[in-house]
Amino acid sequence: MNHPTGPFLTRREELAARRAELRENARRRRRRGVLVLLAALLLLGVVFGGGAYLVGSRFFTDDFDGPGEGDAVVRVLDGDTTRQIGTMLARRGIVASPEAFTEAAAEDSRVIGIQPGYYQVKLKMSGEAAVAAMVDPASRVGRLEIRGGTQLDDTRSPDGTVSPGVLSLIAAASCGRIDGAQTCLTADDLRQTMATADPASLGVPAWAVEDVARAEPNRRLEGLVTPGIYDVAPGTTAAEVWKSLLAVSVAQLESDGLTGDASHDGLSAYELLVLSSIVEKEAITPDMGKVARVVVNRLDANQRLEMDSTVNYPLDLQALRTTAEARATPGAYNTYQNTGLPPTPIAAAGKDAVAAGLAPESGPWTFFVRCQPDGTSCFATTLAEHQANVGRAIANGAF
């Protein structure tokens, strides 16, 4: 059959063109509608369901609105990037999405100062609120600092000032708000676990296990938490806290050279830790090697150490000198009455003290006394020389 031509085909073409024009106009109207909506959202902001669609660079980023609710503790790991922190926060329900945090963080330069550790935050925080919380020093929890010379129990000075010991410091660091309630370990919780748990199960190294097991239970872990900064996870048990602290501390001790193979002058690794703790208490850093030598020389001669620091240790007293009554009181730590080292360390020994304990300075000294106000000691090989040094110390107001 022959198809007609001319006006009939022209009419069909006109209808097709008209339909195409209508479709194009509809698309344009839809685009204009979207643009109008976008402009309105940019001016007003809109919340859909649980997520806020924010203005500016965070447009259409899933985000919560406001300061958040409830309580949570989160941990930032060493080396975490801003993106990794945001991902962790989103996974924990702190923010609605990683982008909510990272985009808010891009506008606050303080995020570069976020340190590894634990932070107290809330659930369902806006990205901006989460950034503000993470950069606020008050949000940091679980931070524990142990200084050289700190012992397990609180100590007092002659003027009555009390310095918190390792147990009290750990207890304070363990506090945090979880599930709406404040949770803290106590010094007694930590002491009870130390006294009753198997030392090896807490992470005591093999070279110290036998000595620790023989020690008075309340002093078992003395000296095994070394000076440094630690992170304590709020809400964990006393046993878990001890394990985490000893894992870091023992690694530090062994990195400093105090391992099962460490020995000299017949001293075991644990005895070297005891020696190092005495050095920490008795000497300033420049004199540590010489003080370690005095201790070793006295041990070699089977001479009593006569260290005031060991006598004061069970008295929980921080003092340069001892009383005649204290020196006359029998006890395992009274080195005026006993020969040899005390049964445990007497404090946390730092890197310099451990180095001195492992490698005492060569010399014949068997006496020392703090003879300068800055803590510097004078050393002697005879009693007469020592007595002269004592006189000098008194004259200098150092003793």
Q: Is 110 contained in some domain?
A: yes
Local confidence pLDDT in tens for the 399 residues of the chain: 433 333 333 444 444 444 444 444 444 444 444 444 445 544 444 433 333 333 334 456 899 999 999 999 999 999 999 999 999 999 999 999 999 999 999 999 999 999 999 999 999 999 999 999 999 999 999 999 999 999 999 999 988 899 999 999 999 999 999 888 899 999 999 999 999 999 999 999 999 999 999 999 999 999 999 999 999 999 999 999 999 999 999 999 999 999 988 777 789 999 999 999 999 999 999 999 999 999 999 999 999 999 999 999 999 988 888 888 999 999 999 999 999 999 999 999 999 999 999 999 999 999 999 999 999 999 999 999 999 999 999 998 887
Determine contact, residues 394/373, Cβ cutoff 8 Å: no
- Please give the residue range of the domain that contains residue 315: 269-395
Final residue of a structural domain among 255, 283, 306 = 255
Q: Look at residue 48 and tell me if it is in a domain.
A: no
Q: Are residues 167 and 83 in the same domain?
A: no
Write down which residue in 100, 122, 141 finishes a domain. Answer: 141
Whether residues 355 and 371 fall in one domain:
yes
**150 and 113, same structural domain?**
no
Same domain, 282 and 391: yes
Decide: 68 and 121 in contact? Cβ < 8 Å.
yes
One domain for residues 295 and 199: no
Quickly list H helices, the chain.
7-44, 82-91, 98-105, 127-134, 166-173, 187-196, 199-202, 206-214, 238-255, 269-282, 288-300, 308-312, 324-327, 351-358, 383-395
Intra-chain end-to-end CA distance of the chain, in Å: 129
Query: What's the maximum distance between 2 C-alpha atoms anywhere in the chain?
Result: 139
- Pair 98, 130 in one domain: yes
Same domain flag for 217 and 308: no
Amino acid at 277: S
pTM: 0.81
Residue 21 lies in a domain: no
Give the count of domains, the chain: 3
Whether residue 130 is found in the same domain as residue 174: no
| 106 and 199 assigned to the same domain | no
Domain containing 97 — which CATH number? 3.30.1490.480
The token pair that represents 240 in the structure block: 């878990």
In a domain? residue 178: yes
Domain boundary among 255, 290, 308: 255
Same domain, 288 and 369: yes
Q: Is residue 19 part of a domain?
A: no
Q: Are residues 277 and 388 in the same domain?
A: yes
